[in-house]
Amino acid sequence: MLTMTQTALGGAKVLEDPLEYLPCSMILEFKRGQPIYTQNQPSTNLCLVISGKVKISRVSDAGNSVLVDIYQADEFFGESCLTDSFYPETADALERTQVMTWTTGEIERLAAERPKLALALLQLVIQRSIDFGHRIECFAVDTIGRRLARALVRFSDRFGHQTESGASEMLSFTHELLSQYVGTSREIVTHYMNLFRREGYVQYSRRSVVVNADAIKQWLRQQSDVAMTAT
C-alpha cells in the first residue's frame, strides 16, 4: 500500500487562495431570480460571488430541476468554462447578487504568469468534487429523511450564524428548493420538515429557520448505529 505522511492526516497543508492571484475585474449586478447564465447560453467566464447568493441547477431530460449547489460571497462558480465540455447548468441569483467575472482567456494567461493561481483553483475544484463525492454517497445509501437532515446540517453550517443556544439561524429556503437538492417532491420535504419541527430539530420564524445541527447529527448517528447492528 502507498504510505501516508503526517501532513495528510494532520490537515496541516496550507491551501492557496485564488483571490490572492486574481486582479480585480468587472462586477455585474443581478436582481433576485435573474439568470446569470443558462443551459442554452453557457458562460465563458469564471465567476466569483461578491455579495448575495447564486443557485446552480440542472434540468433533467424529463424537465425536473436539480439543485447542484448554492454559492455565496467569496465562492467561485462557472469553472466548467475552463474545459471543452458542454456542461448544461443554469446559474440564477437567489437574491440581489454581485458577481465578478474573468474570461477563460484571462484565467489561462494569468495562470501561466502566476502558477499558484492554477494550483489554488485546482485545490478549490478538488474540494468541490470531494463534496460531490459525499453527496453521491448520501444518494446511494441514505433515505430521503436522512438526505434532508444532511442538507439542513450542511446549509446551516454554510449559510447560518450561531444563536445563543448554539443552534444555527439562516434565511429559510423554500421546501421546493430543498426538494430539488434532496431529489424528492416538495410534499415529501414538507412532511419531513413537520416531523423535524415536532422533534425540535428545526424552528421556523417569519423569514428564517433555526437548525439544531447537533441534535440532527446525533439522530443521524443513532440511525447509523441501528443499521450497523442490524447488518
- Which parts of 39-68 interact with a copy of itself (CB under 8 A)? 41-45, 47, 58, 60-64, 66, 68
Shortest approach of a copy of itself to residue 164 CB, angstroms?
A: 30
Q: Which of 96, 128, 154, 158 binds a copy of itself (CB under 8 A)?
A: 128
Q: What grid cell was written down for 6? A: 503526517
Shortest approach of a copy of itself to residue 98 CB, angstroms?
A: 13
Tell me if 171 contacts a copy of itself by CB under 8 A: no
Tell me if 176 contacts a copy of itself by CB under 8 A: no
Shortest approach of a copy of itself to residue 34 CB, angstroms?
A: 8
Q: Which of 7, 165, 174, 194 binds a copy of itself (CB under 8 A)?
A: 7
DSSP secondary structure code for residue 39 in this structure: S
CB nearer to a copy of itself: pick between 59 and 170 = 59
Shortest approach of a copy of itself to residue 210 CB, angstroms?
A: 25
Q: Round to whole Å and give the CA distance between 98 and 75.
A: 12
Q: Which of 23, 84, 187, 205 binds a copy of itself (CB under 8 A)?
A: 84
Q: Which of residues 107-126 bind a copy of itself (CB under 8 A)?
A: 108, 111-116, 118-119, 121-123, 125-126
Shortest approach of a copy of itself to residue 132 CB, angstroms?
A: 4
From residue 146 to residue 165, the character string flagging contacts with a copy of itself as x (rule: CB under 8 A) and all else as - is --------------------
Q: Which helix (H) or strand (E) holds 6?
A: helix 6-10
Q: Which of 37, 71, 155, 196 binds a copy of itself (CB under 8 A)?
A: 37
From residue 184 to residue 213, the character string flagging contacts with a copy of itself as x (rule: CB under 8 A) and all else as - is ------------------------------
**According to DSSP H, which parts of 74-230 are helical?**
104-113, 115-141, 144-159, 175-182, 186-198, 213-230
Q: Which of 21, 52, 55, 89 binds a copy of itself (CB under 8 A)?
A: 89
Measured in whole angstroms, the distance separating CA 49 from the mean position of its chain's CA atoms is 13
Tell me if 23 contacts a copy of itself by CB under 8 A: no
Q: Return the half-sphere exposure (C-beta side, CA atoms, 13 A cut-off) of residue 159.
A: 22
CB 179 within 8 A of CB 186: yes
Strands 76-77 and 45-51, bridge-based pairing: antiparallel
Q: Round to whole Å and give the CA distance between 41 and 93.
A: 16
Q: How many CB atoms lie within 10 A of CB 66?
A: 14
Task: Using alpha carbons, select from 138, 160, 147, 145 the residue that is nearest to residue 212.
Answer: 160
For residue 63, give the amino acid letter.
G
